[in-house]
Homo-oligomer: A and B are copies of this chain.
Amino acid sequence: MNKLTPQSKNFADWYNEIVQLSDLAEYSDVKGCMIIKPYGYALWENIQEEMNKRIKAIGVDNVYMPLFIPESYFKKEAEHVKGFAPEVAWVTHAGGKKLEERLAIRPTSETIMYRTFAKWVHSYRDLPLKVNQWANIVRWEMRTRLFLRTTEFLWQEGHTLHTTEKQADEMVDQALELYKNFVNEFLGIYVLNGIKSQAEKFAGAEYTKAIEGMMKDKKALQMGTSHSLGQNFAKVFGIEFLDQEGKKQTPWPTSWGVSTRMIGGIIMAHGDDKGLVLPPKIAPIQVIIIPIYKNSDEEKKIKNYIKNLEKNFKNIKYKIDWDHTNTPGWKFNQWEMKGVPVRMEVGPKDVQKNQVILARRDTGEKLQVKLVNLAGNINNLLNNIQDNLLKNSENNLKSNIKNYTDYNKYKKDIKKENFFALVNWCESKKCEDQIKYDTKATTRVYAENKSGKCIVCAKETNKQIYLAKAY
């Protein structure tokens, strides 16, 4: 059954194969549009549920804005349109007629949000305004990859307005912190966070901050972004408020989002040659129970035995695989491939000994566990696995950051293997482009300031940045 290409052989093939073998998603006939299958969509629902709680907890309300953006709005902010126009899908005909004005399918909703906010905001009392929406987004990408880069994807986009730049900056940080904590605590992925370079920022933003994880192939994945938009968008859409002195002011907007791309992160940060490895907190099935029996007499005994255990499993997402058409061995492989964190085996010997066998998906370790406080022990095991995945992810990232001062040495090394490089950089686009041209690596996020010479042009600078090949 398992035709999965090993990661070491070809990580890209491994990724494409496992997404489809584990029934997460597949391509549709419309180029680059994906079909998210039940097992994959369950991951997205778990992400949504937890993120929604966290987003609401910081005082953000959910709304829904139209899918369509009139071309005239879309063109109002110059940098924005320049950044997104090449990727837009246009509706030109509807209801049997040619439209007077073309409608963009939203590639992001800043323009329609700010047009609306201009109607909602009048006084400082209307601020801060903090809304979020869960929506589908369309960007006509040339090269697509399931979850990582698809023509249509699902996301969450927060949009806020503030009275001062400082408050907007704080919101940018708060959203990024929320993403970082979520990704750490729920997805078990360790991330770097910081400011993107001007070339890598969101089209129309003042600055962009991002979280960046390291995948198993040592490439970077940007997993969430948070933008300070300066006052440009607010000005072009005419958003104004009267401050406490009755003076007209322009508010400071931010926007921030994460998408179905996160699922690609889960796959690539934890998966191995056997398939997915899902963090327990996000796994649709946390424990797969596999009964092992040779005849209907044993089957009956095991059924009763499991029925008794189940009563205590109310807080565990479990499933029992009673399928008669496959062997236990086949099932082991199948559920390992699907990344279920814990396998519980129950055979006649276990019934005799009042125990079950638990197998960890992350380490492969097998444990004989007595029935006393079984549910509690399973929960502890799930927590251990969750922690272990984060620890592994942290180790993977931290042990693969290398400092470089010699550009030639860096160029030579990055051709041989992937890693994150920490280098001094003069902040010029020229040097950034040179790095990209020479190595295919891009600047990811700024690190702490430290004096040194730009790795390309040797100019003195106190800026350091991470470089990596990225998805």
Contact = CB atoms under 8 A, between A and B. Distances in A.
Contact of A41 (B63, B70, B119): B63
Contacts of A102: 93
A122 to B, nearest CB: 14
A86 interface: yes
A196 to B, nearest CB: 24
B35 A70 contact: no
Among A30, A131, A142, A154, residue most surrounded by chain B Cβ atoms (within 10 Å): A30
B96 A89 contact: no
Nearest to A141: B95
B38 A70 contact: no
Copy count, this protein chain: 2
Contacts of A45: 62
Determine the interface band of chain A, counting residues with CB < 8 A from chain B: 35 or more
A138 B142 CA distance: 26
**Chain A contact surface mostly:** mixed
Contact of A38 (B35, B63, B125): B63
A294 B26 CA distance: 64
A62 B41 CA distance: 7
B95 A35 contact: no
B62 A35 contact: no
Contacts of A141: 95
Given A28-B66, A38-B131, A64-B35, A95 B91 contact: no
Interface in A17-46: 26, 28-30, 33-38, 41-42, 44-45
A456 interface: no
A61 interface: yes
Nearest to A113: B35
A115 interface: yes
A92 B95 contact: no
A65 B136 contact: no
25 contacts: A26-B119, A29-B115, A30-B68, A33-B67, A35-B66, A36-B63, A36-B64, A37-B63, A38-B131, A41-B61, A41-B63, A42-B62, A44-B64, A67-B136, A68-B89, A85-B96, A86-B96, A89-B91, A89-B93, A89-B94, A90-B93, A95-B141, A96-B140, A125-B325, A135-B136
The 5 tightest CB contacts between A and B, nearest first, are: A95-B140, A38-B61, A89-B94, A33-B66, A36-B64
